[in-house]
Amino acid sequence: MKAEKDITIYDLAHELNLSAATISRALNHHPTINKNTRKKIIELAQKRGYRSNTFASNLRKQHTNTIGLILHELNSQFMVSVLSGIEKVTTEANYDLIIGHSSESSKKEAANALNFFNKRVDGLIASLAFDTENLDHFAPYKKRGIPVVFFDRVFEEAEGAKVIINNRKAGFEATRHLIMEGCTKIVHVTASLQRNVYSERFKGYQEALQAHHLRYMEKNLLITDLSEKDCIAAAKKILAMKPMPNGIFVTNDFSAAVIMRTLQDEGIRIPEDIAIVGFNNDTISTLIQPTLTTINYPGAEIGEIVAQNLIQHLQGKSDLSLTNTIIINSDLIIRASSSRKNKL
């Protein structure tokens, strides 16, 4: 069936024998248009199914009131909470949000960046994929003066606005807690150290070992893709270690839960035999047994701060070129999975 043609202001003007300018002013509630005339125009517009072309209107004003958002994954509670914080702020500021998913691929990330650039977004928010090696695909934004804010996974040494937590400090605190609970052989399960979040948590882990005179051993670093399959494999590697470790610091809660379940299936007691600390404070950390000690990573707060900084720049209230790195507080939440002192 052939689609009906969109109704334009010229159609309304012809039907009411008025000028297109009068129709446009009435639909925008301009005070110079008589109240009765305005009422007649709006009623006809509703009856005929007229839709305002806000995209074309915004282009004439050199903005689209649209923000692009590139996420590296969508199946993470942390990322969902970041999204909720961003969406809350953008909605309140009357900005539309377009979401792109890189699926941990730098190629898809670059394609999303180009797509949003061509859609003329006013600004961009991004968290980098596992294999992103440079920021070249964001260069057109810088050239055109379109603001970009990175969060979570970033290049910390690069110029530009970034919102992160102190991952090194968080990694240090997680590892130190295990040491204070009597752990002397601690395995660190993480993802690609190419990404800042994982490399910094790893550095914190190493520094905590050194601070407490424990030797770092390369075999105690297990790098995975954080999938369920890979985490089960990591747990089996831990089970095969001799002597077996008595502490594990895992770089996210889902992975920690998978490892914990696999170890428990093999008769390992948590925390008596092995104490475990996760990362993110996802819902799963309170649903599993024992409940999981973790680092609270405030996703919604990060999302709100990212969006607020971008929108304030777009509204001329601040200048992102003067902003480099914004560090959000995180904290250790101690639960049963690591509380060995009460069990031994």
Domain ranges, ordered by start, for the chain: 1-48, 64-165+299-328, 167-297+332-338
Identify the residue whose tokens are 């090696």. Answer: 133
**Rounded distance, CA 154 to CA 98, Å?**
20
The dihedral over CA atoms of 266, 267, 268, 269, expressed in degrees to the nearest 10, equals 150
Instruction: Find all residues with CB under 8 Å of 256, minimum gap 6, and list them.
Output: 189, 248, 250, 276, 277, 278, 279, 285, 292, 294, 337
Give yes or no for a contact between 295 and 331, defined as CB atoms under 8 angstroms apart: yes
Residue in 190, 168, 175 with CA at minimum distance from that of residue 293? 175
- Helices (H) and strands (E) counted in the chain, each on its own, are 13, 12
**Rounded distance, CA 175 to CA 173, Å?**
5
pLDDT at 159: 85
- What superfamily would CATH give domain 1-48? lambda repressor-like DNA-binding domains (1.10.260.40)
pLDDT at 49: 79
- What superfamily would CATH give domain 64-165+299-328? Response regulator (3.40.50.2300)
**Rounded distance, CA 176 to CA 211, Å?**
9
The residues of the chain scoring below 50 in pLDDT are 1-2
Give yes or no for a contact between 275 and 247, defined as CB atoms under 8 angstroms apart: yes
pLDDT at 108: 96
Residues written for the chain: 344
pLDDT at 25: 86
Amino acid 262 reads T
Write a three-state SS string for 157-171. CCCCEEEEECHHHHH
1-48 shares its CATH topology with 64-165+299-328: no
Alpha helices in the chain, H assignment, sequence order: 9-16, 20-27, 35-48, 54-60, 77-92, 106-118, 139-144, 167-180, 196-211, 228-240, 253-265, 284-287, 299-314
pLDDT at 149: 97
- For 167-297+332-338, CATH number out of 3.20.20.140, 3.40.50.740, 3.40.50.2020, 3.40.50.2300 equals 3.40.50.2300
